[in-house]
Amino acid sequence: MLKLTDVDTHYGPLPVLKSVSLEVRVGEIVCLLGGNASGKSTTMKTILGVVRPTAGRVEFEGDRIDGLATEVIARRGISLVPEARRIFARMTVWENLSMGAFTRQKAPAGEVAQDFERVWTLFPRLKERQHQLGGTLSGGEQQMLAIGRALMARPRLLLMDEPSMGLAPVLVDQVFDIIRAINGQGTTILVVEQNAPVALSIATRGYVLQNGRIVIHDTARILLATDYVRRAYLGED
């Protein structure tokens, strides 16, 4: 579904991604692990066309998308749950979700309403607070709103950038349960995380980024059992 082949990305003269290749297949949850400054977020930005790769190719459903504008890529069926959530603070919950469906004004009547129902079912809290401004929500609620907003576009591929960031552990588990549920409803997911144990617990496969290179990739089960990953990311000696 999504395929990066030998992607290099530079910020000015500084190389950030070095020959990154990864693949996300239909129906999978793939997680991309790595520490600070390993290039995780840059990988997301490269996929979504926020930054352009200097070499290599990015393909989505068989078409090259590198070089396309972010909004064009988004319209093709890729949604983003951004790092730090980036909800629209001075819009209500309901308006935030409507913005998620912005490109679907030609959708058949009732379809968007159905999607609202889907989001309300996943996040009953959001329904209670639908008239509240996004900026007044708690961190966890904002994360839910960011996920709900991304779902309103009916993406085939959902990119999630550090969905656990800044959340209490109990909320982290909740968010990941929901990610699994969304995947169960048929959305393919690529999730970037620092919280490796939680991410690997729901993922099909995982990649480990280090200094802009993919150093390991395997199934989540094997990664969880790999000495290197255990030491580097699971905090074990």
Partner 1 sequence: MAQPGFPRWAAVLGLVALVAPLAAPNDYWIGVMARICLYATLALGLNIVVGFAGLLDLGYVAFFGIGSYLYTFLASAHFGLHLPFLVTLPIVILLTAGSGILIGAPTLRLAGDYLAIVTLGFGEITYLLLINLDRPVNITGGPSGIVGIDPPAVAGFALSTNTHYYYLFLAALGLTLLASARLRHSRIGWAWQAIREDELAARAMGINTTVAKLQAFAIGASFAGIGGSFLASWQRSVFPENFLFTESINILAMVIVGGMGNLLGVVAGAALLVSLPEVFRDLQRYRLLAFGLMLMVLMVFRPQGLLSFERKESSDD
Q: Which is nearer to partner 1, 86 or 231 (CB)?
A: 86
In the complex, least distance from residue 58 CB atom to partner 1, rounded to whole angstroms: 16
Interface with partner 1 includes 147 (CB under 8 A)? no
C-alpha torsion angle, residues 120, 163, 229, 169 (rounded to 10):
-80
In angstroms, the CA 227 to CA 20 distance is: 23
In angstroms, the CA 138 to CA 124 distance is: 15
Q: Which is nearer to partner 1, 69 or 181 (CB)?
A: 69
**Contact 20/10 with Cβ under 8 angstroms?**
no
Q: Which is nearer to partner 1, 145 or 224 (CB)?
A: 145
In the complex, least distance from residue 74 CB atom to partner 1, rounded to whole angstroms: 4
In angstroms, the CA 24 to CA 29 distance is: 8
Name the phi and psi angles at 58, rounded to 5.
Answer: -120, 125
In the complex, least distance from residue 33 CB atom to partner 1, rounded to whole angstroms: 23
In the complex, least distance from residue 105 CB atom to partner 1, rounded to whole angstroms: 7
In angstroms, the CA 7 to CA 57 distance is: 6
Site residues for partner 1, window 43-102 (CB under 8 A)?
A: 48, 50, 69-71, 74-75, 79-80, 82, 86-91, 95, 98-100, 102
For residue 169, give the amino acid letter: P
Number of continuous H segments (helices) and E segments (strands) in the chain? 10, 10
In the complex, least distance from residue 189 CB atom to partner 1, rounded to whole angstroms: 15
Site residues for partner 1, window 126-145 (CB under 8 A)?
A: 133-136, 139, 142
Two structure tokens written together for 26? 């239909």
Measured from the Cβ of residue 204, the count of other Cβ atoms closer than 10 Å reads 17
User: Residue count at the site for partner 1 (CB under 8 A)?
Assistant: 32
In the complex, least distance from residue 10 CB atom to partner 1, rounded to whole angstroms: 18
Interface with partner 1 includes 175 (CB under 8 A)? no
**Contact 182/151 with Cβ under 8 angstroms?**
yes
Binding site for partner 1 (CB under 8 A): 48, 50, 69-71, 74-75, 79-80, 82, 86-91, 95, 98-100, 102-103, 105, 133-136, 139, 142, 149-150, 153
